[in-house]
């Protein structure tokens, strides 16, 4: 029996068995059973993915499982990478969920659905035909929706987020369904092997790709289809947020790569220019929105939009180079994109799990109400700090390597790729600027989140009374932290496999080589992450030693008064709002903040002011400009429909008679 088949089959048995067990066991042990089962399912799925990335492929068909097309599986290196990432995230989330679920989330439905969601995330990349992919995609959507609604009885915002997510995810599913059916109808068969072998007409291929880009891009949180993401991810339980933000959204990228680069073998340049532009816009807009947010989990949700945008910049550049005939740069760009999928999954899992510990300890996600957590929650503080460093794309974080590779692929494009047209030569430098701007804003965003939320003084009694989370939650964060540290110190643990996957998708040679030093093949560029970390450690040690030496030699002086230099109070420190205010001013035209001043006067005299209230908010401009008019029009249509339904039987009979007359007239005209 094939190793991939054995491991994936064991994952299916473990996932289904865990769902059944979680539905029947007693409440006291239910979180332990479900969490251990989710972690075990994820570990088996990750092992199957690693085996597939190592060269082991597997395919099978189960014709009796579905009445029309059956079920077909086909696992290759590309699918194995996304299986490995999703399984690794599930291991951390499952262990973390054992402790997190004991606070009101140990119901049968939530605990039984979680392993089914993980199983769907693992099996989507294993689908081998259109019908199987659509079936598993819908299973993933429905199970994740149920998990998003897990706390709907506690907060009204959960129901609103669930409605947004349900509508957006099913509109995306409709686009994927239509696009894949367009492609399959022209190929004559819905299997992926038939789609690869068939040379589709350009118009059909273009229509199918655009529809799939809309559907899969919606799942990845690409602009302007991102509106559900910063709503649903914050309202879901934190370990579910990690699964959605670090594993599920990756499958939107998987779908674009699978359809565009694999099944349709590349396509024309305009496809990938569209992907690149959408990715760059999503990256910049996502991090701008994250930079001005004070809700910790919403900040992380917008950060997901940013990072998926960076991944799509790499995917778009890869398709652009492949269309121009430069397979070397195409492989480098795709390697950078797939590596960033891995690194983003690692640090975003860690950040969401740490944020969940903060929410459980303090009861709030508002950064302006936090502070002082470094002494009360030292392990969580270290975990969030490590995740913030990784998300900032600074060395020695893991995202530094993937973004460095991405920049190298973009910088070398205009000078070395022979088939680029003028438009592409303009877009690529702009993409470099977008990636650089995104990196700078990410640093400011996570300095704000970490500094204000953890290092400042506590601003509320709840923050001052916070305590460290249970051991199982710390263990889950430890798994995610290890996934952050390992590729940062030794990226060659991951890079060879990722390079092989990218080369296999494009039919090219590897783009990166080297052990201690990462060397680019075909272009000039080399970097050693391990030596860079060593140099940074030496520099930090030297600076700290020099500061201590100076402090020891400085004579101590007594002050007669402090002149404002005494102990700081929480009111003297920066809040998250005030920290982000300069960024709001710089990007005022893009963010379009809303300001409101209410002045209350005394009743005795309009000249005497009793109170002044100042409010400033930064709404999502795309949501208010695009979705608000659509929702208003839909509501108006609904009100008009209610006026038609008066309850009068005579009116309803008139409607039926009028409809019948119209149909008879149409038949008479067209017969």
Please report the DSSP string for 123-163 in residue order: HGGGB-BHHHHHHHHHHHHHHHHHHHGGGTTT-HHHHHHHH
pLDDT at 557: 57
Six-digit token string for 640? 């008009």
Return the percentage of the chain with pLDDT > 90, whole number: 32
The answer, yes or no, to whether residue 507 has pLDDT greater than 90, is no
pLDDT band at 90; cut points 50, 70, 90: very high
42 close to 89: Cβ distance less than 8 angstroms: yes
Average pLDDT, integer, range 316-323: 89
Distance CA 475, CA 96 (A): 7
pLDDT band at 441; cut points 50, 70, 90: very high
pLDDT band at 69; cut points 50, 70, 90: low
Closest CA relative to residue 492, chosen from 403, 398, 410, 407? 398
The per-residue pLDDT for range 610-648, each reduced to its tens digit, is 787 777 777 878 888 888 888 888 888 888 877 777 777
With a threshold of 0.75, does the pTM exceed it?
A: yes
304 close to 317: Cβ distance less than 8 angstroms: no
The answer, yes or no, to whether residue 566 has pLDDT greater than 70, is no
Detail the DSSP E strand segments found in 110-262: none
pLDDT band at 171; cut points 50, 70, 90: very high
More confident residue, 537 or 217: 217
The per-residue pLDDT for range 514-565, each reduced to its tens digit, is 666 677 776 777 666 666 667 777 877 888 888 778 767 666 555 555 555 5
pLDDT band at 329; cut points 50, 70, 90: confident
Closest CA relative to residue 120, chosen from 197, 45, 57, 175? 45
Average pLDDT, integer, range 592-602: 78
The per-residue pLDDT for range 277-296, each reduced to its tens digit, is 999 999 999 999 999 888 89
The per-residue pLDDT for range 448-486, each reduced to its tens digit, is 999 888 888 888 888 888 888 888 999 999 999 988 887
How high does pLDDT run on average in the chain?
Answer: 85
pLDDT at 314: 93
Task: Provide the angle, in degrees to the nearest 10, between the axes of the packed helices 471-489 and 398-411.
Answer: 40
Tokens 């950064």, residue?
367
Average pLDDT, integer, range 217-239: 89
pLDDT at 461: 83
236 close to 291: Cβ distance less than 8 angstroms: no
């Amino acid at each position: 029996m094939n190793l991939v088949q054995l491991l994936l089959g064991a994952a299916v048995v473990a996932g289904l068995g865990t769902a059944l067990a979680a539905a029947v066991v007693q409440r006291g042990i239910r979180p332990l059973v479900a969490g251990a089962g989710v972690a075990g399912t994820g570990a088996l799925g990750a092992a199957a993915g690693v085996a597939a990335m190592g060269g082991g492929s597997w395919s099978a068909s189960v014709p009796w499982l579905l009445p029309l097309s059956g079920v077909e599986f086909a696992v290759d290196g590309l699918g194995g990478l996304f299986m490995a990432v999703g399984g690794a995230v599930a291991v951390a989330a499952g262990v973390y969920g054992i402790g997190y679920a004991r606070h009101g989330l140990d119901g049968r439905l939530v605990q039984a659905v979680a392993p089914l969601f993980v199983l769907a995330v693992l099996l989507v990349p294993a689908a081998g035909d259109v019908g199987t992919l659509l079936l598993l995609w819908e299973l993933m959507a429905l199970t994740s929706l149920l998990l998003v609604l897990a706390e709907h009885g506690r907060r009204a915002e959960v129901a609103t987020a669930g409605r947004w997510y349900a509508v957006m995810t099913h509109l995306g599913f409709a686009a994927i369904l239509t696009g894949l059916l367009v492609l399959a109808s022209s190929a004559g068969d819905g299997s992926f092997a038939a789609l690869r072998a068939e040379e589709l007409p350009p118009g059909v291929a273009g229509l199918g790709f655009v529809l799939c880009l809309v559907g899969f891009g919606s799942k990845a949180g690409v602009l302007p289809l991102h509106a559900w993401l910063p709503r649903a991810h914050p309202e879901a339980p934190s370990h579910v947020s990690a699964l959605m933000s670090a594993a599920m959204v990756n499958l939107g990228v998987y779908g674009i790569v699978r359809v565009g680069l694999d099944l349709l073998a590349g396509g024309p340049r305009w496809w990938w220019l569209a992907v690149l532009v959408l990715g760059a816009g999503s990256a910049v807009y996502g991090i701008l929105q994250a930079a001005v947010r004070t809700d910790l989990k919403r900040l992380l949700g917008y950060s997901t939009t940013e990072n998926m945008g960076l991944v799509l910049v790499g995917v778009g550049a890869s398709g652009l180079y492949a269309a121009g005939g430069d397979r070397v740069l195409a492989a480098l760009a795709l390697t950078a994109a797939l590596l960033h999928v891995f690194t983003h999954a690692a640090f975003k899992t860690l950040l969401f799990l740490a944020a969940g510990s903060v929410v459980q300890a303090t009861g709030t996600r508002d950064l302006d109400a936090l502070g002082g957590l470094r002494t009360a929650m030292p392990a969580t503080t270290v975990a969030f700090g490590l995740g913030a460093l990784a998300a900032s794309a600074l060395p020695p974080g893991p995202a530094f390597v993937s973004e460095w590779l991405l920049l190298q692929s973009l910088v070398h494009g205009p000078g070395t790729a022979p088939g680029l047209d003028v438009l592409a030569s303009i877009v690529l430098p702009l993409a470099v600027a977008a990636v650089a701007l995104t990196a700078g804003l990410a640093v400011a965003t996570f300095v704000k989140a970490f500094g204000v939320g953890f290092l400042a003084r506590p601003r509320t009694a709840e923050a001052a009374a916070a305590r460290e989370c249970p051991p199982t939650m710390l263990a889950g964060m430890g798994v995610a932290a290890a996934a952050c540290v390992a590729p940062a110190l030794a990226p060659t643990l991951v890079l060879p496999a990722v390079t092989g996957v990218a080369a296999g998708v494009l039919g090219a040679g590897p783009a990166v080589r080297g052990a201690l030093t990462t060397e680019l093949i075909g272009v000039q560029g080399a970097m050693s992450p391990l030596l860079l970390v060593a140099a940074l450690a030496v520099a930090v040690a030297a600076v700290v030693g020099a500061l201590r030496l100076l402090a020891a030699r400085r004579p101590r002086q007594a002050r007669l008064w402090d002149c404002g230099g005494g102990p700081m109070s929480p009111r003297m420190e920066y809040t998250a709002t005030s920290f982000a205010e300069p960024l709001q001013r710089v990007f005022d035209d893009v963010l379009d903040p809303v300001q409101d001043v209410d002045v209350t006067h005394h009743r005795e005299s309009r000249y005497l002011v009793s109170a002044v209230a100042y409010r400033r908010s930064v709404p999502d401009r795309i949501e208010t400009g695009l979705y608000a008019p659509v929702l208003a029009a839909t509501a108006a249509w609904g009100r008009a429909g209610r006026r038609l339904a008066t309850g009068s039987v005579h009116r309803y009979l008139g409607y039926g008679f009028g409809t019948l007359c119209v149909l008879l007239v149409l038949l008479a005209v067209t017969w």
